[in-house]
Amino acid sequence: MQVKRRSADMFILLAALSLLGIGVIMVFSASAVNSLKGPHQDPYYFLRRQLLWSVLGIVAMILAMNYDYRKLRSWVWIIFPISLLLLVLVLFVG
């Protein structure tokens, strides 16, 4: 039996990309003046960093969208405790 793959919901995808774009614009507008005063002396420093991480996030999102999550079922006993440990670690390390 062949499983039919569903495509991603375009509304959710466009909403996520719109929020990402708005976030990048907000980071630039909030940090351009401060980055001129800092050691970087470049108003686009934080914008470039935000764009870099945004592109990496989009690539990770596309990879996650195309991965069959049911294959992770055998790994759940390893992934779940690690996730809990990382959540608790955030409270102490930040």
pLDDT of residue 5: 63
Helix-helix angle 10-37:45-66, to 10 degrees: 160
For 1, 8, 38, 94, the CA distances from 57, given in Å and listed in that order, are: 34, 17, 27, 21
pLDDT of residue 58: 92
Instruction: Kindly give the confidence (pLDDT) of every residue in the chain, 94 residues in length, as a single tens digit, with 9 standing for 90 and above.
Output: 666 666 667 888 899 999 999 999 999 999 888 888 878 788 899 999 999 999 999 999 889 888 898 998 999 999 999 999 999 999 999 7
The predicted model scores a pTM of 0.70
The DSSP secondary-structure symbol of 4 reads P
CA distance 93 to 20: 26
CA distance 61 to 20: 12
